[in-house]
Structure 1
Amino acid sequence: MADPGIIPLERAPSLGELALLQRAKALGFPVVPTWAVALEEEFYRLNNLPERIERLFAGVFGVRVDEERLLWAAEEAQRSVRESYLLPERAEAFLEAVKGRGPFVVRPLGGGPHPAPTPQEALFALKRLWAGAFRVEAILERHPRLLPPFIPYLVQEAGEVGEDPFFSLELSKALGERVVVFAHRGVVVRIEWEHGG
């Protein structure tokens, strides 16, 4: 049985861009091998990160933001995420799911791509993205919420991607709504609603 936290596109939850990719594939458009990875919440829980991060940020947000403490807490939170571990069986299931494949792009649902040449690098890229949620700008953007939303991350077998006007036009016609398609070597990687819709 496939690991529930590492889900092939066909069985992934139909939400946002995942739904667009599923619809494109069902319509016969070529879509790169894609997995939705929903392991962040478990990773936080098992490493006691919510409590640890809450302690780091104690006293940062009062009447005024303690900027010095914010910078320190942000760095420490990123380090805590980077130095924490997935369950070994989760890491093994991830590596098994993408074994013999690559290169990859790893990205949050609706976010920009991070290249990863190998399965191991794709796993490291996930943790770097999770840690990146504690950059100062990201923290201030979601304040007063301290923890990031636990969203699926996409791991896709693709290299450099670029906007594809032909696919954008054809898929917009097929879907009946305007979308922008990004592709790698003639295969769909990413779909966005036009103007971020």
Structure 2
Amino acid sequence: MAEPGIIPLERALGEGEMALLRRALALGFPLAPTWVVGLEEEFFRLNNLPERIERLFHGVFGVRIDEERLVWAAEEAKKAVRESYLLPERAEAFLEGLKGRGPFLLRRAGKGDAHPAPSPKEALFALKRIWASAFEVEAILERYPSLLSPPAPVLVQEAEIPTEDPFLSLDLTQALGEEVVAYAWRGLLVRIEWPHGG
């Protein structure tokens, strides 16, 4: 798990894709500037979101699912996340860490669904949109009976939407010793998928 705050990938703890990206960087592959944000648990706790969300979904799941109430609760949960705030010092550190850079892509580590952001301020909004997306109806039904998804690090990368790079995929597969698919933007590695990995 990432430590709280926004830190460069090289200093971040974490397994899965984060570990593969760190290994690729250590092996000399050009990686898009990447930071790791590990603030989700703190953000939810300080804004009392677990209790607020629990109340929103009260009565939704009984003998049968109240579909109308489920849709309403999901929208309200997303709104609660988007309208909550990071600690001022966390928000300032986030903006300062990305100052003078951009554009950015934000996504959960190990996931390909990226949120573009042209500036550090927009990246901060995108971070909350990622956390709010955990309350799409399909996502809630997938993890029920748990209403909250486990906190996961978010990657902030100075890049635009990458495309699959078959040559980089081959080179990385050989260097890492496991089959991977690499996605790059302007020659910089952005994302690694490993079809047979965890």
- Relative to the length of structure 2, the TM-score reads 0.95
1:82 paired with 2:82, answer yes
Q: Deviations over 1:6-42 (max 9, x none)?
A: 1211111131100000000010100011011010110
1:106 paired with 2:112, answer no
1:179 paired with 2:194, answer no
User: Relative to 1, partners in 2 of residues 1:56 and 1:14: Cα closer, same or farther, differing over 3 Å?
Assistant: closer
CA contact (8 A) 1:105 1:159 kept: yes
Amino acid at match of 1:15: E
Amino acid at match of 1:69: R
SS in 2 for 1:194: coil
User: Relative to 1, partners in 2 of residues 1:39 and 1:171: Cα closer, same or farther, differing over 3 Å?
Assistant: same
- Of the structure 1 ranges 122-131 and 3-12, higher mean CA displacement relative to structure 2 is found in 3-12
RMSD: 1.2
Cross-structure match for 1:5? 5
Q: Distance in 1 between matches of 2:52 and 2:161?
A: 37
User: Relative to 1, partners in 2 of residues 1:141 and 1:33: Cα closer, same or farther, differing over 3 Å?
Assistant: same
Cross-structure match for 1:17? 17
Q: Deviations over 1:33-89 (max 9, x none)?
A: 101101011000000000000001011111110111111111111111111000111
Q: Distance in 1 between matches of 2:105 and 2:174?
A: 27
CA contact (8 A) 1:14 1:22 kept: no
SS in 2 for 1:115: strand
Q: Deviations over 1:142-187 (max 9, x none)?
A: 1011011100000000012100111100010011110000001001
State the identity %: 73
CA contact (8 A) 2:163 2:183 kept: yes
Q: Which runs of 4+ in 1 moved over 4 A?
A: none
Count residues in correspondence: 195
Cross-structure match for 1:51? 51
Q: Deviations over 1:110-142 (max 9, x none)?
A: 112111111111110010111111111110011
Q: Distance in 2 between matches of 1:68 and 1:16?
A: 37
Cross-structure match for 1:32? 32
Cross-structure match for 1:95? 95
Q: Distance in 2 between matches of 1:128 and 1:169?
A: 34
Cross-structure match for 2:131? 130
Q: Distance in 1 between matches of 2:80 and 2:161?
A: 30
Unaligned runs of 5+ in 1: none
